[in-house]
């Protein structure tokens, strides 16, 4: 177990190397994964109760839930605009160490598979203080990791927004990786980026 960083909402480390088994995966061994914000004993249960009151976790085989926000230029955007392509959605937080670690591999996937029809979209839901990400934060993320892939925020909020209450709730932490087929149905969702799993699923979905 590798402890990494502190949640802006808590006093104890939340990023760890875990063997979590999210929805639809055979194994998550080796995944770098940050559980959701927690602050004190009982906070995790309260956090999940709040999320459950907002919306159900995303289910495999069901239509993806759209996310609306702005991109790094300040222009309005949404996840559904990429319908018709295979979409790799990365829901991340700026305070999450493993989200930072995965930025370069996600850009690599975009460069490798983008010409074949893959859209890689990062949705940043929280800044380094746990607040909603603004345009400046999006631009900072793009510049820091030299990204050309789309990066957006969630205009609906942080823990009570679509990205966290629907997608992150399905795995319990950051980063949450979601693969959406060309018909805009979710085919894969898990916490942490495991490259062999993701590339195998991308190849499968692109071939359909």
**What pTM did the predictor assign?**
0.78
* Count of structural domains within the chain: 1
Q: Is the pLDDT of residue 205 over 90?
A: yes
Residues 6 or more apart in contact with residue 193 via CB below 8 angstroms: 31, 32, 90, 102, 105, 106, 175, 177
pLDDT tens digits, one per residue of 42-76: 545 554 555 455 455 556 788 999 999 999 999 99
Residue 154 lies in a domain: yes
Beta strand pairing status for 76-78 and 86-93? unpaired
Question: Residues 160-190, buried b or exposed e (16+ Cβ, 10 A)?
Answer: ebbbbbbbbbbbbbbbbbbbbbeebebbbbb
CATH number at residue 132: 3.40.30.10
Residue 5 lies in a domain: no
Residue 1 lies in a domain: no
| Range of the structural domain that residue 164 is part of | 16-207
Write down the pLDDT at residue 52: 53
Residue 4 lies in a domain: no
Res. 21 pLDDT band, cuts 50 70 90:
very low
Residue 3 lies in a domain: no
Token code pair at residue 200: 């195998």
- In the three-class reduction of DSSP (H, G, I as helix; E, B as strand; rest coil), residue 62 is classed as coil
Q: What percent of the chain is predicted at pLDDT more than 90? A: 57
Residue 8 lies in a domain: no
Residue 9 lies in a domain: no
């Amino acid at each position: 177990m590798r402890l990494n960083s502190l949640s802006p909402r808590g006093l104890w480390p939340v990023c760890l190397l875990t063997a979590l088994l999210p929805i639809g995966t055979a194994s998550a061994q080796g995944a770098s994964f940050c559980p959701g914000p927690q602050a004190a004993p009982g906070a995790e249960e309260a956090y999940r109760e709040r999320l459950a009151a907002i919306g159900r976790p995303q289910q495999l085989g069901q239509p993806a839930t759209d996310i609306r926000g702005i991109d790094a230029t300040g222009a309005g955007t949404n996840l559904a605009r990429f319908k018709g392509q295979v979409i790799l959605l990365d829901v991340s937080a700026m305070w999450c160490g493993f989200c930072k670690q995965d930025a370069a591999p996600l850009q690599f996937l975009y460069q490798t598979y983008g010409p074949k029809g893959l859209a890689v979209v990062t949705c940043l839901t929280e800044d380094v203080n746990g607040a909603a990400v603004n345009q400046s934060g999006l631009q900072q993320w793009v510049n820091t990791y030299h990204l050309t892939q789309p990066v957006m925020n969630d205009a609906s909020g942080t823990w009570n927004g679509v990205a966290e209450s629907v997608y992150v709730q399905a795995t319990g932490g950051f980063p949450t990786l979601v693969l959406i087929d060309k018909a805009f149905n979710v085919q894969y969702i898990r916490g942490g980026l495991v490259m062999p799993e993701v590339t195998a699923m991308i190849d499968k979905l692109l071939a359909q």
